[in-house]
Chains A and B, each alone.
Chain A
Amino acid sequence: MRLTLRALISHGRVARKMGLGPESRINMLRNILTGLVRHERIETTTARADEVRFYAEKLVDYAKRGDTDEKAMKMASFWLTEKDLVPKLFNVLAPRFETHSKGYTRMARLPNRENLDRAKMAVLEYKGNPFPPLYPVKKDNELTLINQLLRGYREDRAQQLATKA
């Protein structure tokens, strides 16, 4: 029977610790965020992807203000270490998410890393990226007997509605 408590109980603290300290954590997230803005889909560990998600969405919210905004430009130049991505952020990503109010990123789990550490991996992407979808949609075969019958049925109904209207 275990008589001592385990030392890793967080007691309700939800903020993650990454790297060597808070500054190191921000620098790491900055690098990951730059990679995300450049490539629009990246693979990292689950914890890092989850942390970056918040900052990625906040960055897009700032970018939506436009590049004439002083604060937005400062944020963008701080968070993006490679300065050629700043125009991409304001001219490509911000217009893409004009109609979305939130939820610009998507995260999906991957198989664990092949190394000794077997770390939990995840893929993080900005929606609307040019790559094939993460969850491919499997379409039913349109030519099976039952689908052909249903197609005839649907056309018939459309015809009936058209003649009624």
Chain B
Amino acid sequence: MATRSACRALERRFASAAAAAAAARPSAAEVRSQRNAVFSREQARQRALYPRIEKIEVSMQGPGLDGTLLVMNRGMSTPLSCARHLTEYHVNNSVLALVDGEPWPLHQPLTDSCSMTLLTFKDSDPTLANQAYWRSCAALLGQVLQTAFKDDYTVELLSTPEVPVTSGAFCCDVALDPQLDSWTPSEESLRSLTKGAQQLIHKDLPWEPLEVAPSVALEVFSHSRCKQEEVEEKAAQHPKGRVTLYRCGDHVLLSAGPLVGRTGLCSQYEVTALHSLRQGPWGLHRRAQGLSLPLQLQAHHTVWRKLRQRAEKLVEVSRLEEAAPPSPPDSTPPPTSQ
């Protein structure tokens, strides 16, 4: 009797403690709306830096376009708006812009007169476009994982490693809630993740870039210690100490390099595997892998099946390859000791 009442008392105390802990940790929706609000505020502030319309001259380079001069607005016109002045083909097929030799996301406003090339997947050297596409697919995977789990479980997105295209799959490192440590995803769950990704692709959301000072980025990720560390790392690597944030829909993320213009560019997308790596500082590190092909380079189903089978295997990334090299001789380099 005494034990029963004691048990009940303990139960109630633990339940209230758990509830208090859950209440202290903000819900996923709240976190998302807070990040969104900070992002929108910073975006509006950066746009307000150009109150009057100033004109810049953009000279286009490319097949059939050499020397075309476009007069655009400073701080407002993006490479996509330049493409809109050309043809629908350029709008649909351009993946990335090369502004004065620098890779530039399609939705980032131009700040100076420059010479610009629009990159597609079918150029003679589409390496940059491929890398940007791989990064964007990994970012999409991260977004899907963040929103896929129920509110009771926390999802901590770790940095997406830069993987070369020849390794067969893009990866997104994630640390799930400790309650899910023993959970291994079944085929059904992978398929539902794929469906989530396909929904995002169908919505055709643009990836809006924003270059911010590290302090703003730290404010955006104020609820996540892991992300703040990543912000500091990226700020240290950048020559000007700025950090680029991207927003897709209502999900704000951090990325190492330029991303593609919009989600609708992917056509075949599948989440292939979720491997468990070692125990790290944020919990059990897991690597989600996927395979995707763009709208312009669709594969026959036989080819797709073979590539997908390969994408299920774990892709090992050595910490030494920071900036993605063009193509290593060995597709799976031996893992370095961490």
Contacts and interface: CB of A to CB of B under 8 A. Distances in A.
A and B: bona fide binding partners:
yes
A143 interface: yes
A152 B331 contact: yes
Contact of B166 (A141, A144, A152, A159): A152
A145 B168 contact: no
B124 interface: yes
Interface string B107-147: 00000000000000110111101100100000000000000
18 contacts: A143-B125, A145-B121, A145-B165, A145-B293, A146-B297, A146-B303, A148-B130, A149-B165, A149-B166, A150-B303, A151-B327, A152-B165, A152-B167, A152-B310, A152-B331, A156-B168, A156-B310, A156-B331
A153 interface: yes
A145 B127 CA distance: 8
B167 A146 contact: no
A155 B122 CA distance: 23
B293 to A, nearest CB: 6
Nearest to B127: A143
B306 A153 contact: yes
B126 A144 contact: yes
Interface in A133-165: 141, 143-146, 148-153, 155-156, 159
B200 interface: no
B205 interface: no
B308 to A, nearest CB: 10
What 6 A-B pairs come out closest when comparing CB atoms? A152-B166, A148-B165, A152-B331, A146-B297, A145-B130, A152-B168
B331 A155 contact: yes
Contacts of B226: none
B258 to A, nearest CB: 16
Interface of A: 141, 143-146, 148-153, 155-156, 159
Nearest to A149: B307
Interface string B297-338: 101000100110010000000000000000100111000000
A150 B306 CA distance: 9
A153 B310 contact: yes
Most buried by B among A146, A150, A159: A146
A150 B294 CA distance: 15
A145 B307 contact: no
B327 A144 contact: no
Q: Kindly state the interface size class of chain B when it binds its partner.
A: 20 to 34
Interface of B: 121-122, 124-127, 129-130, 133, 165-168, 291, 293-294, 297, 299, 303, 306-307, 310, 327, 330-332
A146 B127 contact: no
A44 B124 CA distance: 38
B297 to A, nearest CB: 5
Nearest to A147: B297
Contacts of A151: 166, 327
Contacts of A141: 122, 124, 126
A153 B168 contact: yes
B122 A144 contact: yes
A78 to B, nearest CB: 53
A156 B263 CA distance: 29
Contacts of B299: 146
Contacts of B331: 152, 155-156, 159
A158 to B, nearest CB: 10
Contacts of B291: 149
B297 A155 contact: no
A143 B119 CA distance: 14
Contacts of A150: 303, 307
A110 B306 CA distance: 43
A19 B305 CA distance: 63
A134 to B, nearest CB: 25
A141 B307 CA distance: 19
B121 A144 contact: yes
Contacts of B130: 143-145, 148
Contacts of A152: 165-168, 310, 331
Contacts of A159: 330-331
B166 A145 contact: no
B296 to A, nearest CB: 9
Contacts of B297: 144-146
B136 to A, nearest CB: 12
A156 B168 CA distance: 9
Most buried by B among A152, A155, A159: A152
A153 B331 CA distance: 9
B190 to A, nearest CB: 19
